[in-house]
Structure 1
Amino acid sequence: MDMEAAAKLAMALPEVAGGTGETGQVGFEVGGKGLAWGYVARPAPKAARVLVPGVLAVRCAKETKAMLLEAAPDRFFTDDHYRNYPAVLVRLEAIEADELEGLLRGAWKTVAPTAVKKRHPHV
């Protein structure tokens, strides 16, 4: 996987908006709520955050995050900034399309407003 392929999977979900901004930052949302975005990290303490190529943050339940981190640390990780946040960091080069599609679908179900979910009950 790469960011372009991940973007296609995210944009294929109903009513998802987003893409790549001027700074190269990528982000996707449904109903104004973020479901996935590019990972930015500090290269040094107190330094400005910079985009980390090939890593996508995907919203998920904290229980799901814990399971993913334990089961597949080669594909999923976290950092101090995300430690208590309901999103997992995904190494795109290490994940298959179907697994990322499932994560993005789960993120969509987590953040999509009720009205959007009613319009798209098949997701």
Structure 2
Amino acid sequence: MATWDDVHRLAMAMPEAEERSPRDWRVKGKGFVSERPLRPADLAALGPSAPDGPIMGARVADLGVKEALLADDPAVYFTTPHFDGYASVLVRLDRIGVEELEELVVEAWLCKAPKRLAKAYLDAQGSMT
């Protein structure tokens, strides 16, 4: 399962990514993945099902993608009322595989990267296959 070292390695591999503060990765000043400990309101909303391991927040393309992830693997992906209406998911880091984490980090980066930078990245990836 994934660790914060995996998140760091994957996030920093993205063009122009920076770790603004510990466990908060950004591209051109816009956050794409970060540590997201549960707050008291989150714990109250989740009740006994609240996870106690490391939690990462990740941007997703839209609410449809968010809903699909939540439905597809609720053991890994979840949300709280704080994120209602926002295209972000919470991830139980100790339950996601590194390959799936990589896909999530890349997609989160693509959501926040400037269009030209994202296009250049995707073009370069296409030429590598």
TM bucket normalised to smaller: 0.7 to 0.9
Post-superposition offset of 1:78: 0.1
Contact 1:7 1:19 in 2 (8 A): no
CA RMSD of aligned residues (A): 1.9
> Aligned to 2:81, what secondary structure does the other structure show?
coil
Q: Conserved in 1, the CA contact under 8 Å of 2:57 and 2:89?
A: yes
Displacement of 1:95 in angstroms is 0.4
Cα distance per residue 1:41-78 (max 9 Å; x no partner):
32258xxxxxx751100000211110010110000000
Find the aligned partners of 2:113 and 2:77 in 1 and give their Cα distance: 23
Change in CA separation of 1:32 and 1:19 when aligned onto 2, cut-off 3 Å: closer
TM-score (norm: length of structure 2): 0.78
The residue type paired with residue 39 of structure 2 is R
Larger RCO: Structure 1 or Structure 2 (Cα < 8 Å, ≥ 6 residues apart)? 2
Tell me which residue corresponds to 2:47.
none
Alignment match, 2:31: 34
Q: What is the deviation of 1:20?
A: 4.4
In 2, distance between residues paired with 1:86 and 1:119?
24
- Runs of 4 or more, structure 1, over 3 Å off, are none
Q: State the SS of the aligned residue for 2:105.
A: helix
State the shift of 1:14 in Å: 1.2
Q: Is the 8 A contact 1:59 1:107 kept in 2?
A: yes
Q: Is the 8 A contact 2:53 2:94 kept in 1?
A: no
Structure 1 residues 53 and 7: alpha-carbon distance in aligned structure 2, compared to 1, 3 A threshold: farther
Look up the SS of the partner of 1:73 in the other structure: coil
- SS of equivalent residue, structure 1 residue 63: helix
The secondary structure found in structure 2 opposite 1:81 is helix
| Greater helix share, structure number | 2
- Post-superposition Cα deviations, 1:66-115, rounded to whole Å, max 9, x if no partner, equal 00101100000000111221111010110001101101111111110023
Equivalences, count: 113
Unaligned 5+ runs, structure 2: 43-51
Give me the whole-angstrom Cα distance separating, in 1, the residues matched to 2:25 and 2:93: 16
Tell me which residue corresponds to 1:48.
Answer: none
The residue that corresponds to 1:49 in the other structure is none
Q: What is the match of residue 56 of structure 1?
A: 56
Task: Find the aligned partners of 2:11 and 2:88 in 1 and give their Cα distance.
Answer: 15
